[in-house]
Amino acid sequence: MPKRFLLLAMLLGAFLAPALAYNPKAYLENERNTIEIVQKAGPGVVYVAVRTAPKVVRPNLPPGFEEFAPFFEPFIVPPQEGTGSGFVIDREGHILTNYHVVKDADEIEVRFKGDPKPYDAKVVGAVPPMDIALLKVDAPKAKLHPIPLGDSDRVLVGQKAVAIGNPFGLDFTVTEGIVSAIRKNPGVESSLIPYLIQTDAAINPGNSGGPLLDSHGRVIGINAAILSPSVQAGAPQFAGIGFAIPINLAKDYLDEMKAGKVLTADEIIRSRPRLGVTVLPVDAYPEAIRKRFKLPEYGLVIQEVEKGSPAEKAGLRGAKEHIYVYTPNGDVLDFGVGGDVIIEADGVPIRNINDLRAVLFKKRPGDTVTLKIIRDGKERTVVVRLAVVK
Q: Read off the pLDDT of residues 275-294 as tens digits, 9 standing for 90 and up.
A: 999 999 999 999 999 999 99
Query: Mean pLDDT throughout 43-48?
Result: 96
**Mean pLDDT over residues 82-98, rounded?**
96
Active-site choice (85, 152, 180, 208): 208
Stronger pLDDT, 162 or 206, i.e. the higher one: 162
Rounded-to-integer distance, Cα 259 and Cα 257, Å: 5
* Fold topology of 272-388: Pdz3 Domain (2.30.42)
Among 131, 171, 200, 340, which one carries the catalytic annotation? 131
DSSP 79: P
pLDDT of residue 77: 67
Q: Average of pLDDT values for 165-176?
A: 91
Q: Which of 150, 151, 140, 94 is nearest to 117 (CA)?
A: 140
- Residue 94 known to be catalytic: no
The mean pLDDT of 353-359, rounded to a whole number, is 87
* H-state helical runs in the chain: 3-20, 29-41, 99-102, 247-252, 254-258, 265-271, 287-292, 310-313, 353-361
Per the annotation, the verdict on 208 as an active-site residue is: yes
- Provide mean pLDDT across the span 257-264: 95
pLDDT of residue 327: 85
**222 pLDDT tier (thresholds 50, 70, 90):** very high
- In whole angstroms, what is the distance from residue 341 CA to residue 376 CA? 10
Contact 181, 170 (CB under 8 A): no
Using pLDDT thresholds of 50, 70 and 90, give the confidence band for residue 9. Answer: very low
Q: Does domain 152-258 have CATH number 2.40.10.10?
A: yes
* Backbone dihedral angles phi then psi of residue 281, each to the nearest 5 degrees: -70, 145
pLDDT surpassing 80 at residue 231: no
Beta bridge partners of 213: 162, 219
**Out of 3-17, 94-108, 188-202, 220-234, which region has the weakest mean confidence (pLDDT)?**
3-17
pLDDT at 99 over 50: yes
Neighbours of 218 (CB within 10 A): 18
341 contacts 334 by C-beta, under 8 angstroms: no
Provide mean pLDDT across the span 61-74: 65
The pLDDT, as a whole number, for residue 331 is 87
**Of 137, 162, 159, 141, nearest in space to 219 by CA:** 162
pLDDT at 48 over 80: yes
Q: What percent of the chain clears pLDDT 90, i.e. is strictly above it?
A: 65
Domain boundaries, the chain: 152-258, 272-388
Q: Which of 94, 100, 180, 355 does the annotation list as catalytic?
A: 100
pLDDT surpassing 70 at residue 15: no
**∠206-100-63 over CA atoms, to 5°?**
135
Residue 163, pLDDT > 80, answer yes
Given pLDDT bands bounded at 50, 70 and 90, which one contains residue 270?
A: confident
Q: Nearest to residue 34, comparing CAs of 149, 148, 163?
A: 163
Amino acid at 329: N
Average pLDDT over residues 354-375: 90
Residue 90: active-site member: no
**Cβ atoms 44, 112 nearer than 8 A:** no
Least confident of 63-72, 151-160, 322-331: 63-72
Lowest mean pLDDT, pick from 286-290, 329-333, 346-350, 376-380: 329-333
Confidence of residue 158 (pLDDT cuts 50, 70, 90): very high
